[in-house]
Amino acid sequence: MIRSIDFELRMRTKRSKTFCRYDSTANNEEFSTEKVGRDKREDSAIKSGYTSNKYHQKRPHFSKTHRRLPQCIIIGVRKGGTRALLEFLNIHPAVQKASDEVHFFDDDSKYEMGLEWYRRQMPYSFPEQVTIEKSPAYFVTESTPYRIHAMNSSVKLILIVRDPVTRLISDYAQLAENKAKKERRVASFEEVVLFPDGSVNTNYKPVRTSIYSLYYTRWIQHVDKYATLDENGSR
Ligand SMILES: Nc1ncnc2c1ncn2[C@@H]1O[C@H](COP(=O)(O)OS(=O)(=O)O)[C@@H](OP(=O)(O)O)[C@H]1O
């Protein structure tokens, strides 16, 4: 059991002589490594901030830790502050986050790889810790409520929402920035959000994402099935 935020565990592996420290305050890492015997690959990965699960799979870990399917999932909403929420939760020593968005339930090609693949994307954790991942696309993807329920009907789901118009502007701004980086034409906000007669274009995906009721009603159909999703938790 991890008892406090300052609690540290240290391990020296025989093979690489890597010195590992459990640091629950670390930003992007389940484990921070330091000192003796790090191989070059590890050094450059740490320097560049590279923290993909592919790399984690090769990193040393404590003998009593395992990768576990998440008991808690932040399902959205995109641009709702999901990253900040995940990082805040991860400060708690009993929480272990997946660093990357896994997109297991909303991406058919990933879903087809099965739960064992999904489990392997998760961080190592102690038995008492809660594994958590966030993929904001889950909230708006049709197949996701059923798929998550099929994995675990008592998984805890967190939905964080934001003023729908502010969220739309934030979503548009990110998409526009991505397009600009690729030197593609960026349509104005009015162009994509409004029809010439001034009505709102609800076919534009960022607009649709902000119509929370479209998706909420889909999730609510599963509320009875989710034993732990009570009235407050589902908001
Ligand atoms: N604490 C807090 N309160 C209010 N808003 C916050 C907070 N933390 C992050 N943010 C804002 O959330 C936006 C990023 O949301 P996400 O992390 O969900 O983005 S993403 O969907 O993963 O891309 C992003 O919004 P924009 O600034 O409009 O881009 C963040 O500024």
Q: What is the pLDDT of residue 70?
A: 98
Cα first-last separation, the chain: 31
Report the nearest atom of ligand 1 relative to the CA of 84.
8
In this predicted complex, what is the ipTM? 0.97
Reported residue count of the chain is: 235
Query: What are the distances in angstroms from CA 197 to CA 31, 96, 162, 192, 193?
Result: 55, 49, 27, 13, 12
- Is 80 exceeded by the pLDDT of residue 222? no
d(CA 182, CA 180): 5
* Angle formed at CA 97 by CA 96 and CA 101, multiple of 5 degrees: 165
Residues identified as active-site: 79
Summarised one tens digit per residue, pLDDT across range 106-156 is: 999 999 999 999 999 999 999 999 999 999 999 999 999 999 999 998 899
Mutate to test the pocket of ligand 1, among 88, 161, 162, 170 (most ligand atoms within 8 A of CB): 170
Summarised one tens digit per residue, pLDDT across range 48-60 is: 433 444 444 455 5
The CATH 3.40.50.300 domain(s) of the chain lie at 66-160
User: Which structure tokens are listed for 129?
Assistant: 């810790």
d(CA 112, CA 137): 17
Q: What is the pLDDT of residue 223?
A: 63
User: Which structure tokens are listed for 30?
Assistant: 């389940």
179 C-alpha to ligand 1 centroid (Å): 19
Nearest CA to ligand 1 atom 7: 81
For residues 224 and 151, the model is more confident at 151
Query: What are the distances in angstroms from CA 47 to CA 15, 32, 41, 99?
Result: 22, 12, 10, 17
30 C-alpha to ligand 1 centroid (Å): 22
pLDDT grade for 224, boundaries at 50, 70 and 90: low
77 C-alpha to ligand 1 centroid (Å): 10
The CATH fold of domain 66-160: Rossmann fold (3.40.50)
Longest dimension (CA), the chain: 70
- Is 60 exceeded by the pLDDT of residue 232? no
Summarised one tens digit per residue, pLDDT across range 184-219 is: 999 999 999 999 999 999 999 999 999 999 999 889
Nearest CA to ligand 1 atom 2: 81
Comparing CA positions, the residue from 139, 128, 62 lying closest to residue 101 is: 139
Q: Report CA torsion sign: 118, 123, 124, 126.
A: negative
